[in-house]
Amino acid sequence: MDPDEQPVDEPAPREGRGRHAAERAPGSRWIFELIGVVVVAVVIAVVLRTFVLATYSIPSGSMEPTLQIGDRILVDKLSYHLHGVGRSDIIVFSTPPTEDCAGPPVADLVKRVIGLPGETISLSGGRVYINGHVLPEPWLPPATRTETTPGPSSAPYALHGAYKVPAHDVFVMGDNRQYSCDSRYWGPVPESTIVGKVDMRIWPPSRLTFF
């Protein structure tokens, strides 16, 4: 055989490897894209949970009939950074350090805003008065609108007499007035401790409600 005709080892064709690499690449990108989507979703969820929205379960009957035991609520944590607290708002706030009502300790409470900063709140004939005017309370069943009683202590906030809500505080009560441990028991709530405003009842679905 002519030396010039000796077989020469040649590298294997690269077409096959190229095709396989092209086929594998989309799969690899898909995995990285999926990881990226999951990471972004987790970050968004954490941000929403921390700064914007939160869900809570109602553990007691102090807000009945508006909120019942086992209801789940959606709380807007951003709203009070944009505007002030409104009367009749249902709010979630940190449990006051002086709260000593019966029941297991909880980190947060839910009540309705009755008195705003600087207002004078009083009781007469079982009705709530703000600055000397009776407070309409359409959120209460008609039969219970004359059942609000003072708290058990002799403190001014117990409402045995007129009480002026301090600046930067709000006065809260539960809708179930006879069975609610609220500002009549442990005083007004500093606005700085408010977690947010209750916007919706999201559970059970049959009672989905916007507040």
Q: What is the pLDDT of residue 70?
A: 95
77 catalytic? Reply is no
| Model pLDDT, residue 16 | 46
The pLDDT of residue 20 is 43
| 62 belongs to the catalytic site | yes
Domain for residue 170, yes or no? yes
pLDDT at 53: 84
Q: With a cut of 50, which residues of the chain have pLDDT below it?
A: 1-24, 47
- Do the beta carbons of residue 89 and residue 42 sit within 8 Å? no
Q: Of 62, 79, 180, 183, which one is the catalytic site residue?
A: 62
Task: Give the pLDDT of residue 7.
Answer: 39
Predicted local distance difference test score (pLDDT) of residue 136: 97
Q: Which domain holds residue 77?
A: 53-99+106-210
pTM flag (> 0.85): no
The reply to whether 41 falls in a domain is no
What is the CATH classification number for the domain harbouring 88? 2.10.109.10
pLDDT of residue 30: 75
29-51 per-position pLDDT tens digit: 777 666 656 655 555 555 455 55
Please indicate, yes or no, if residue 21 is contained in any of the structural domains. no
pLDDT of the residue at 188: 98
Element (H, E) at 39: helix 15-47
Domain count, the chain: 1
Q: How many residues does the chain have?
A: 211
The Cα 163–Cα 118 span in angstroms is 10
Cα torsion angle, 110, 114, 117, 123, sign:
negative
* Residue among 105, 102, 76 nearest 185 (CA): 102
Catalytic residue among 111, 180, 183, 197: 111
- Domain annotation covers residue 149: yes
The answer as to whether 8 is a domain residue is: no
Is residue 70 included in any domain, yes or no? yes
Residue 182 neighbours by CB distance under 10 Å: 25
30 within some domain: no
pLDDT at 33: 65
Residue 143 domain flag: yes
pLDDT of residue 1: 44
